[in-house]
Structure 1
Amino acid sequence: MNISRLFAALIPIFFVLILGYVAGRRHTFNSEQASGFSKLALGFALPATLFVNMTDIPKNLLLQQSGLVVALFISHIGLFLLALFAMEQIPSLKGTPAAIYALMLSSSAAPVFGIQVLRPLLGETSAGTVSLVALSIDFVIPLAIIFLEMNSAPGSSALNQDSPIAMGIKNGLKSPLLWAPVLGILSVLVGIHVPTEVSSSLSMIGSATAGVAVFTVGLILAAHAFRFSRAVVLGTIGRITIQTALLFALLRWMHISGPFAREALVCASFPMATVVVLFAAKYKTLEDETASILLLSTTSLFVTVPVTLFMSS
């Protein structure tokens, strides 16, 4: 593991993160503007990047990743459901906190940090891996919405258009983060050539992904007080280890190897997804705890990336 390359990949991330934090502490941007940055990154720039990245993967190489896709879905959707069931058994976490913690364990910030960290270290295939991981995460989020809405409105009927289940599915299908990589995959499998003009146009807006998304993370962190507690420490350790260990075991059991598998394993050890903090704020639960876990798990990148790369080598 080349330490200088690792630092070269991580230092820009922490520079922009600190820049966003300082801007937030100085109230350069208000909460509505921070929300606008988040919508720009997650609603426009990142989906464009994911689509272009998927279309750049050769068809034969993409077809070889079916086993990895299964492993990723198990390590994301399966882990969410398992963690939710386990958390529901703890009286103090029952309900909304259980769903928040389950989402924290089963979703990483790979879509935000992935390409910026992995491409300098592992090469161009990392962009496709991040797209597959993002796709897995975006199947988890509608599930989380369903359970969060069920806990906030327990009297809703599943047959009602505005029921928690309908709302979760609707939000999932509306998300560009879900259908952008799917469209990219379908275009490769069907053999549709994406014109250079289209990919260049999407790449232009997609180039804003890393900077805007990481800057927004800094703004989010500045809006919350850091709380160093047992829950924060355990939550951070759980975020960077449980999904990594599960995916590592699945990859070994399914005999999956290669650069895509290695990159997916590193993505599993990434910090908590920023969407967890946004959900915590929306449902008024664990707001300071999730922001603190986001900060602590982000600083752990200097440890988790080299350790995971060593594990997968």
Structure 2
Amino acid sequence: MSFAEIFTVVVPVFLLIAVGYGTGRRALFDAGGAQALRELTMQLALPAALLLSIWRTPRHVLVEQLPLVGLLAFGFLAVYAVLLGVLRLAARRSLRRAALFALACVQPQYAFMGTSVLGGLFGTAQAAVPIAVAGIIVNVVLDPVVLILLGMPEHPAPRTATAGAAAPARQPALATVGGGAPEASAAEPAPAGAGASGPRPSVLRTVGHALREPFCWGPVLGLVLSVAGVGVPEIADSALGLLAGAASATALVYVGVSVARIGRPALSPAVWAVSLTSVVVLPLLVYGTGLILTSEAVAAQAALILAFPVSPVPLMFAARHGSAEDVRTIGSAVVLSLLLSFVTLPLIIELVG
């Protein structure tokens, strides 16, 4: 595929994001409107698209994707664990900040931008399986693990409270997987250390909460139906297809609106580090690893899933569980990585072919 053909696919995606940015800057979507747009995307359109795409995929094709599952698990989970350890032990970051920043480095906007870009490059059917596989890994494993880490206390609770000291406000132990944190929370971040007190949240409760989200159980249900050999009924195919058709447009417009609400990025070293890790280092690392361990085709699929800019989901987690500085840094990384990806994404597509 020529560079001109790549830009023909990529540029319309960024134009639609620019439309969302313009509507956000003109306040055509207030906080309630932006929340409704996000809910349409994350609770209805994208889950329907993932459910239908993986349900349509024959069982033998899913079995053939096991090398891709392993490579994406390496890119999401193993790299996350390494970054978490480096930030926690070498950089001496708190557990909460290390968990948030490591997540920002490894969780891309594959759900928001992948359907449009990869579908335009390779066709909707061929692009659907990697996106669905990534959705299962991220939403069933990675994000619940991060939520558990965010709910853990930083230090042992003192035996006695200082006389007259007010008890710290308890933050919700769970944030909705896939972007369900209220829009207002992004504008009103939790204070540093919030949520550090109180008992450790139940692992089963955290995973159960994640599995109740449509963006999480949609791909899982599609996987179960495909493996069981259940065909897609014509009525369900038509209904889900209509809903899934809104996924690409609403997701891209929401990206633009969310970027407009974040504002101008603060170009600190941490912001550059997170952004470059997300759009350059991680996809190239996974591509090189894939060439060694699997095939070129599998390596290319995994690298392209990971080549998208930083997802808004870590920003939503930071608004619930982090400090104002965490929100500013991760929000700035979302914006900067999006700007960088206008150049890096076509180059990586050209590289992996």
Moved more, 206-215 or 243-252: 243-252
- Tell me which of 157, 162, 178 is aligned to 2:199: 157
Q: Is the 8 A contact 1:221 1:295 kept in 2?
A: yes
Q: Which amino acid aligns with 2:145?
A: L
- Tell me which of 130, 142, 146 is aligned to 1:140: 142
Mapped to 1, the partners of 2:198 and 2:231 lie a distance apart of 45
- Tell me which of 274, 292, 308 is aligned to 1:235: 274
TM-score of the pair, normalised by structure 1 = 0.90
Q: Secondary structure at the match of 1:137?
A: helix
Q: Secondary structure at the match of 1:272?
A: coil
Moved more, 148-157 or 265-274: 148-157
Mapped to 2, the partners of 1:183 and 1:157 lie a distance apart of 32
Q: Which amino acid aligns with 1:273?
A: S
Mapped to 2, the partners of 1:268 and 1:91 lie a distance apart of 24
Moved more, 98-107 or 53-62: 53-62
Q: Which amino acid aligns with 2:130?
A: T
Counterpart for residue 176 of structure 1: 214
Moved more, 242-251 or 187-196: 242-251
Q: Is the 8 A contact 1:43 1:177 kept in 2?
A: yes
Moved more, 169-178 or 39-48: 169-178
Q: Percent identity?
A: 24
Mapped to 1, the partners of 2:197 and 2:328 lie a distance apart of 28
Mapped to 1, the partners of 2:93 and 2:261 lie a distance apart of 24
Report the CA distance between 1:164 and its aligned residue: 5.5
Report the CA distance between 1:167 and its aligned residue: 4.5
Counterpart for residue 82 of structure 1: 82
Counterpart for residue 225 of structure 1: 263
Moved more, 287-296 or 1-10: 1-10
Counterpart for residue 3 of structure 2: 3
Compared with structure 1, are the counterparts of its residues 219 and 53 closer, same or farther at alpha carbon in structure 2 (3 Å cutoff)?
same
Moved more, 163-172 or 202-211: 163-172
Q: Which amino acid aligns with 2:219?
A: P
Q: Secondary structure at the match of 2:152?
A: helix
Q: Which amino acid aligns with 1:290?
A: I
- Tell me which of 267, 281, 287 is aligned to 1:248: 287
Q: Secondary structure at the match of 2:230?
A: coil
Does residue 300 of structure 2 align to residue 299 of structure 1?
Answer: no
Mapped to 2, the partners of 1:206 and 1:170 lie a distance apart of 25
TM-score of the pair, normalised by structure 2 = 0.81
Counterpart for residue 157 of structure 2: none
Q: Which amino acid aligns with 2:147?
A: I
Matches within 5 A, 1:168-207: 168-207=206-245
Q: Secondary structure at the match of 2:119?
A: helix
Q: Is the 8 A contact 1:147 1:164 kept in 2?
A: no
Compared with structure 1, are the counterparts of its residues 164 and 17 closer, same or farther at alpha carbon in structure 2 (3 Å cutoff)?
farther
String of CA shifts for 1:213-266, please: whole Å, max 9, x gaps.
2211222212223212222112111111332133224322322343x5422211
Matches within 5 A, 1:71-110: 71-89=71-89, 93-110=93-110
String of CA shifts for 1:89-139, please: whole Å, max 9, x gaps.
256631322111111112110111011001221223012211112222212
Q: Secondary structure at the match of 1:153?
A: coil
Compared with structure 1, are the counterparts of its residues 22 and 303 closer, same or farther at alpha carbon in structure 2 (3 Å cutoff)?
closer
Q: Secondary structure at the match of 1:300?
A: helix
Does residue 352 of structure 2 align to residue 312 of structure 1?
Answer: yes
Gaps of 5+ in 1: none
Compared with structure 1, are the counterparts of its residues 271 and 164 closer, same or farther at alpha carbon in structure 2 (3 Å cutoff)?
farther
Q: Is the 8 A contact 1:112 1:213 kept in 2?
A: yes
Counterpart for residue 19 of structure 2: 19
Mapped to 2, the partners of 1:252 and 1:72 lie a distance apart of 13
Mapped to 2, the partners of 1:211 and 1:84 lie a distance apart of 34
Q: Which amino acid aligns with 2:51?
A: F
> Could you say what the CA RMSD is over the residues aligned between the two structures, in angstroms?
2.1
Report the CA distance between 1:272 and its aligned residue: 0.7
Of the two, which has the highest radius of gyration? 2
Report the CA distance between 1:293 and its aligned residue: 1.3
Report the CA distance between 1:271 and its aligned residue: 0.6
Mapped to 2, the partners of 1:25 and 1:308 lie a distance apart of 30
Q: Which amino acid aligns with 1:203?
A: G
Q: Secondary structure at the match of 1:244?
A: helix
Q: Which amino acid aligns with 2:214?
A: P
Compared with structure 1, are the counterparts of its residues 34 and 223 closer, same or farther at alpha carbon in structure 2 (3 Å cutoff)?
same
Does residue 254 of structure 2 align to residue 216 of structure 1?
Answer: yes
Gaps of 5+ in 2: 154-193
Q: Is the 8 A contact 1:220 1:291 kept in 2?
A: no
